[in-house]
Amino acid sequence: MKTLKFAVLPGDGIGPEVMEVALDVLKSAGEKFSFTLDYENADIGGIAIDNHGTAFPDSTKQVCEASEAILFGSVGGPKWESLPPKEQPERAALLPIRKTFSLYANVRPGLLYPELTDASPLKKERIPNGIDIVCIRELTGGIYFGQPKSTSTLENGEEQAIDTMVYKTSEIERISKVAIDTAKARGNRVCSVDKANVLETSVLWRKVVTAYFAKHAPEIELSHMYVDNAAMQLARDPNQFDVLFTENMFGDILSDEMGVICGSLGMLASASLGAQKNSLGFPFGLYEPSGGTAPDIAGQGIANPCAQILSVAMMLRYSFGQLEAATAIEIAVEKAVTSGNRTGDIAFGLDPIGTKAMGEAVLSYL
Ligand code: NAD
- As a whole number of angstroms, the distance between CA 255 and CA 251 comes to 6
Residue 252 annotated to the active site: yes
CA atoms within 13 A on the CB side of 159: 3
Cα 305 to ligand 1 centroid, rounded to whole Å = 13
Of 56, 74, 350, which is best to mutate to test ligand 1, by the most ligand atoms within 8 angstroms of its C-beta? 74
Closest C-alpha to 10, from 110, 101, 77, 79: 77
- Contact between 165 and 201 (Cβ < 8 Å): yes
Cα 14 to ligand 1 centroid, rounded to whole Å = 9
- Contact between 309 and 22 (Cβ < 8 Å): yes
- As a whole number of angstroms, the distance between CA 285 and CA 19 comes to 17
Strands (E), the chain: 2-11, 35-41, 70-74, 103-112, 131-138, 146-153, 159-164, 189-194, 221-226, 243-246, 269-277, 283-289
Backbone angles phi, psi at 126, to 5 degrees: -80, -25
- As a whole number of angstroms, the distance between CA 263 and CA 60 comes to 33
Give the amino acid at 345.
Answer: D
- As a whole number of angstroms, the distance between CA 223 and CA 193 comes to 9
CA distances from 257 to 44, 204, 236, 263, 306 (A): 26, 25, 12, 10, 19
Q: Which atom of ligand 1 is nearest to the CA of 14?
A: 18
- Contact between 264 and 207 (Cβ < 8 Å): no
Lining residues, ligand 1, CB within 6 Å: 14, 18, 74-77, 90, 94, 265-266, 288, 291-297, 303-304, 307, 344-346
Give 47-115 as a DSSP string: HHHHHHSSSS-HHHHHHHHTSS-EEEEE---GGGTTS-GGGSHIIIIIHHHHHHTTEEEEEEEEEE-GG
Minimum CA distance residue for ligand 1 atom 30: 292
Residue 144 annotated to the active site: yes
Residue 345 annotated to the active site: no
What is the residue-level pLDDT of the chain in tens, covering all 366 positions? Answer: 899 999 999 999 999 999 999 999 999 999 999 999 999 999 999 999 999 999 999 999 999 999 999 999 999 999 999 999 889 999 899 989 998 999 999 999 999 988 888 888 999 999 999 999 999 999 999 999 999 999 999 999 999 999 999 999 999 999 999 999 999 999 999 999 999 999 999 999 999 999 999 999 999 999 999 999 999 999 999 999 999 999 999 999 999 899 889 987 788 999 999 888 999 999 999 999 988 999 998 998 888 899 999 999 999 999 999 999 999 999 999 988 887 655 544 444 444 678 898 899 899 999
Candidates 5, 43, 132, 144; catalytic one: 144
Of 72, 260, 293, which is best to mutate to test ligand 1, by the most ligand atoms within 8 angstroms of its C-beta? 293
Minimum CA distance residue for ligand 1 atom 16: 266
